[in-house]
Copies of this chain bind each other. A is one copy, B any other.
Amino acid sequence: MTFKLLTRYVPILQWGRTYDRQAFSGDLLAAVIVTIMLIPQSLAYALLAGLPPEAGLYASIAPIILYAIFGTSRALAVGPVAVVSLMTAAAIGNVAEQGSMGYMVAALTLAGLSGVMLLGLGLLRLGFLANFLSHPVIAGFITASGILIAASQIKHVLGVGADGGTLPELLFSLAVHLGETNPITLAIGVGAVAFLFWVRKGLKPLLLSLGLAPRLAEMLTKAGPVAAVMVSTALVWALGLDSAGVKIVGAVPQGLPPLTLPSFSPDLIRLLLLPALLISIIGFVESISVAQTLAAKKRQRIDPDQELIGLGAANIAASFTGGYPVTGGFARSVVNFDAGAETAAAGAFTAIGLAIAALALTPLIYYLPVATLSATIIVAVLSLVDFSILRRSWSYSKPDFMAVAATILFTLGMGVEVGVSAGVVLSVGLHLFRTSRPHIAEVGLVPGTQHFRNINRHKVLTDPGLLTIRIDESLYFANARFLEDYIYDRVVSGCPIRDVVLMCSAINEIDLSALESLEAINHRLLEMGITLHLSEVKGPVMDGLKKTHFLDALSGEVFLSQYDAWVRLTRQEARAEAV
């Protein structure tokens, strides 16, 4: 029993017991491939977050190991990702100067806060909170973030200084500094972008036509960034381009991740609370989407609450080992999965690979031009940009379209934090708005049947003395008054109505506000000499009503079916017509 509980919270105890040689060889191969892919990616994302390059490596070592222990996905690869890196830059850019000691401490603190929040949400089993990010809002946010990220990297390709957290700011700043463009940097940057795009689009078909196995061709394609890094580094070193103004990565400390401490300053924590929450939720949503996609392919199971715990532990680890906020990345996880990772041990082996890189390989990237790293970022994030969500949401659901359009506009125009908040608030608001004005149909009997349909859509029988209303929504506070208004309006302006029947087949719940509205409706109709009835009330709803005095006070009856109500309440002549 205790062990079962323990394995729930520490999944490694489950798969670790059956770990065998076959899994080991799969995991090891995957780790080698992911490590090669992650070295340039980690450096690049650290740059995007405004941090020194080694922070990207550090953020990929300890967090991976912690996730391997506590996470439930077998293939998820945890580390820096593009969107979270951008959000990190936006959050800590507000509280500290980039390059300062305070900036790095703020990054650690942000990771720590985010870790504690994720852990807390997981332990409280509040993973469902992430559901309030609707799919269209996520799609719009990712697309807009991709554009923002690409725009933020153009300065490195041009070799100029430019700044801003929104698209207009970035474009304005780039326009101002355009004259300072360094031509050699531009050549390296554009060359790297062109090369990487070609690798994505053209290399795999070429390799396949040369007779390589598809899987090998796929793997070689993923090594494109490494090739770009190696070639451009060699070029800068051989031609001494750094003295011609090409910005290089420079000296990166050699060694394992350091032991660091986040800040416990209440002021700093207060400033970072909201960004940390947004980063946690966005990171969690990205991670869980990837994890579920991969798990489903092997009919494995992801526990969202345990995922929160795993990501929380990973972020806390990042904050104590010189990293910054991390999450499960899409690209790296897919590569890990495709390369044959069987268990989370593949992550641990990747961590070892990266630790070796941090220990031994950093002198090799001294001459790596920053423009090359920016090129890898630009090519990676532009693949995230996909405006088709606008078209799809427009054709299917206008409220979804409004939410996604607002998310994109606010993200581009006012930054990532405002953008994602606006998307959530608007989509929740529009949902509430729709349910606050539910579809209400006046129904009548379809001749020759026991079915009741909308009088406006079908030829049905009605009785002027009987008003039957079907409400296509659960009744709760937001639509309780709407129902009252509807009924009062209908009986005031209407014909000589004697009986009102509420057909409750689509009502899944009646909350206290709605109950009080029903009581008020019953009371006022009674004052007008009209009797109120209910029909087709669901079991759980009826159980609730039975706990109250409503059924005693109800002037009419509760009919099992609407047809029963019709038979009892219509005049003889109307019934005769119906048969």
Contact = CB atoms under 8 A, between A and B. Distances in A.
Contacts of A436: 128, 131-132
Contact of A511 (B304, B400, B488): B400
Nearest to A477: B134
Contact of A399 (B399, B473, B511): B511
Contact of A476 (B297, B431, B474): B431
Give how many copies assemble into the complex. 2
Contacts of A400: 511-513
A299 B490 CA distance: 11
B439 A480 contact: no
Nearest to A540: B439
A395 B544 CA distance: 9
Contact of A135 (B134, B427, B516, B539): B516
Given A396-B512, A489-B301, A544-B397, A131 B478 contact: yes
A292 interface: yes
B513 A136 contact: yes
Interface in A404-439: 427-428, 431-439
Nearest to A514: B135
A128 B477 contact: no
B513 A301 contact: no
A277 to B, nearest CB: 14
A187 interface: no
A131 B482 contact: yes
A570 interface: no
A506 B434 CA distance: 16
A492 interface: yes
Contacts of A392: 512
Contact of A478 (B132, B297, B397, B477): B132
Contacts of A476: 134, 431
B508 A396 contact: no
Contacts of A435: 474
Nearest to A430: B511
Nearest to A548: B396
A508 B437 CA distance: 12
Nearest to A137: B477
A527 B479 CA distance: 41
B547 A395 contact: yes
Contact of A513 (B134, B428, B515): B134
Given A392-B512, A400-B513, A508-B506, A132 B432 contact: yes
Nearest to A393: B512
A400 B510 CA distance: 11
A344 interface: no
Contacts of A548: 395-396
Given A132-B432, A437-B128, A396 B296 contact: no
A201 interface: no
A396 B134 contact: no
B481 A131 contact: yes
Nearest to A431: B476
A4 interface: no
A463 interface: no
A133 interface: yes
A528 interface: yes
A485 interface: yes
Contacts of A539: 457
A508 B439 contact: yes
Contacts of A547: 395-396
B135 A477 contact: yes
Given A131-B480, A135-B517, A400-B513, 12 more contacts: A128-B433, A133-B477, A134-B476, A135-B480, A136-B512, A292-B484, A301-B493, A396-B515, A396-B548, A397-B511, A400-B512, A505-B505
28 contacts: A128-B433, A128-B437, A128-B478, A131-B436, A131-B477, A131-B478, A131-B479, A132-B477, A134-B478, A134-B513, A135-B516, A136-B512, A136-B513, A292-B488, A299-B492, A300-B492, A301-B492, A301-B493, A304-B485, A392-B512, A393-B512, A397-B512, A399-B511, A428-B432, A431-B511, A435-B474, A473-B508, A506-B508
- State the 3 A-B residue pairs at the shortest beta-carbon distance, nearest first: A134-B477, A135-B513, A400-B512
